[in-house]
A and B are shown apart, each in its own frame.
Chain A
Amino acid sequence: MASQEESSQPSDTLTTLKTESETLKTKLEEERAKLHDVELHQVAEKIEALGQFVIKNRRTLKGHGNKVLCMDWCKDKRRIVSSSQDGKVIVWDAFTTNKEHAVTMPCTWVMACAYAPSGCAVACGGLDNKCSVYPLSLDKNENLAAKKKSVAMHTNYLSACCFTNSDMQILTSSGDGTCALWDVESGQMLQSFHGHAADVLCLDLAPSETGNTFVSGGCDKKACVWDMRTGQCIQSFETHESDINSVRYYPSGDAFASGSDDATCRLYDLRADREVAIYSKESIIFGASSVDFSFSGRLLFGGYNDYTINVWDVLKGTRMSILFGHENRVSTLRVSPDGTAFCSGSWDNTLRIWA
């Protein structure tokens, strides 16, 4: 009965709420602006400029028959898992470029893959709307697909996945607009994260010292920081002008970077609760598909849809270098666990190691 009365004037309530929403948004921006006393690059003015350094394509991993969509490093700093449009997931030894395992998924466009912290399993998924875990067998002849475990079920494509600090839990993001935390053993959903207004394209887990949070980015141009225990969105940032394809935490956990179809990468500081740097140039007009930091956080590597990798000085905001080599879009990029190299994957079907 009460609900009937309320809904008899739905447009008034809606209008009131929308006005309050706008007022709160303005107030949020005002509060953030009050603390905006300086730019990051101004604080960085007195630091020595970085010298010339040489980063080259040291290895090329060939073997995928179609576009490479995702890759991840093993904690042993030498193995890599990669996934492709043709449904293949391959585990490589990056030192020797040998393929160690290969799995054929039942779907095409395997957009997400991740290495388990133990190095004993990989997770992957894509157009099948699921995230599945494959234990890696020492027996090269064993059919990995036989031991496959379906863990996550979304109602649209899987865009990203990553193990938490153990092999027991996986975090996923999906085209259905949600993220979720799953127990690998039982396949049970432990927590779901609602708040994005469109496809979620990427996620990254905070460095373990920082606690139980993760950041996600989506087609709604928003980046959201979530509390993993409560499912609550703690902070959100909406300054990009197009889809956010990649998010990555700064090594201290106090900030994160994003790469977007608006051709910029941006840095958001979590304690100042705002964007603190934009990495862009007029000459860069293609979207950034993937970003990652060097070990100290001083360099930001961005893979772009114009086939290049741009290397940015995070503090000064300037571009240090452009790396050429790929013959099609760079779709994925990760720095190795000890920072000695980074790997990029591309629509040219290859992965390249740079050091």
Chain B
Amino acid sequence: MSNNNASSSSVAVAQRAVKQLRLEAKIRRINVSQAATDLKNFCLQNAHKDPLLVGVPSSDNPFRPPKSCGLL
């Protein structure tokens, strides 16, 4: 009895896996070249607004010291 239960639950697990794979196979995909170009364009368009990338004047960044001083 317990054997049957174990096998039927393995079957159920395998059935779910197959169902999931069928679903994932169906999705629409685009070329990597197009996806990569979009990622690149997003970075470039937003680069000037990225404080860690361009560095903002100390007066605008609350974490940077307002004047250069040797903090020991």
Contact = CB atoms under 8 A, between A and B. Distances in A.
Contacts of A269: 32, 35-36, 39
A234 B45 CA distance: 29
- Chain B interface, DSSP helix/strand/loop, else mixed: helix
Contact of A14 (B10, B29, B47): B10
B46 interface: yes
A288 to B, nearest CB: 19
Contacts of B23: 232, 234
B33 interface: yes
B53 interface: yes
A52 B34 CA distance: 29
Interface in B3-41: 4, 7-8, 10-11, 14-15, 17-18, 20-25, 27, 29-40
A212 interface: no
B51 to A, nearest CB: 4
Contact of B11 (A17, A233, A255): A17
Nearest to B25: A28
B52 A294 contact: yes
Contact of A353 (B36, B51, B55, B63): B63
Contacts of A254: 35, 38-39, 42
**Chain A interface bracket (under 10, 10 to 19, 20 to 34, 35 or more):** 35 or more
Given A24-B22, A25-B21, A353-B63, A272 B52 contact: no
A14 B44 contact: no
Interface in A299-355: 299, 314-315, 335, 338-342, 353, 355
Interface of B: 4, 7-8, 10-11, 14-15, 17-18, 20-25, 27, 29-40, 42-47, 49-53, 55-56, 61-65
Given A7-B8, A24-B21, A43-B33, 12 more contacts: A10-B8, A21-B14, A35-B31, A234-B23, A252-B38, A269-B39, A276-B35, A276-B36, A276-B39, A297-B46, A315-B43, A341-B52
- The 3 A-B pairs with the shortest beta carbon distances in the complex, nearest first, are A10-B7, A296-B46, A17-B14
